[in-house]
Amino acid sequence: MTSYSAASARAEMSELRRLKTLLPPELQSWVMVEASAEVNPPLVRSEELGRDEIEIQIDLAKWDNLAIDQRNLLFWHEVGRIQNDTVPKEGWEMAALAIGLGGAVGELWVQDGLLLLLALGLCGVSGFRLWQKNNGEKRLAESLEADKRAIALATRFGYSTPNAYKSLGSALKTLIEQTPNRKQRKKYETRLQSLRRSAAKAKAKMEAQGSGDSRPSFI
């Protein structure tokens, strides 16, 4: 049992080191790749640790069930989010909202109109920022842009354009099959549909340049 655990730990460390090599050189000094320590975490996500430090967290138990090419493209999707500057920032909004609400209640009690307006203003700003963060359409648009970045990164690291699309498409299909949550599964399905449209455009462009093949789709 101890031998198995040690081997498993070595395999996990090896995978984290491998993923680190998939970071573009300009990100390697300030983007960390770590195993998630949460209970039932998402497969992969990014989190801002400080002003100049971001951590990509991997659920290695689920990650191990994916093929290498699928892992690579899902990892580059997360890298794309970092490049697009769409990683959620440190969450000051909830604290500000709580302070604003507390202040508003207090000022209602003491009937200080100016401070009440200031407290309500703080509530409004923090509430709007929270809405922006959790806006479903905005987050989906960010994911679609990150998928485009993932394809570009894959080709930068030696994938052909067709294989980049196939690998990401395969990864999304696997996530759709393995995701019981209907809302989350719908997001993956939308990403796959968008990827197919993008692949069709890329294929048409390659064929127009005389470098495509006769297959109807990359995915």
DSSP class of 87: S
* CA separation for the pair 103, 119 (Å, rounded): 5
123 or 25: which carries more pLDDT confidence? 25
pLDDT per position as a tens digit, 172-187: 999 999 999 999 999 9
How buried is 153 (Cβ within 10 angstroms: 0-12 exposed, 13-18 middle, 19+ buried)?
buried
Pairing of strands 44-50, 53-58: antiparallel
What's residue 98's pLDDT? Answer: 46
Record the pTM: 0.78
pLDDT of 208 = 86
Cα 195 to Cα 144: distance, rounded to the nearest angstrom? 8
Predicted pLDDT at 52: 81
Summarize pLDDT for 68-106 with one digit per residue, the tens. Answer: 999 999 999 999 999 999 886 654 444 444 444 444 444
Q: When comparing pLDDT for 69 and 114, which is higher?
A: 69
| In the chain, where the domains are located | 2-89+135-208, 93-134
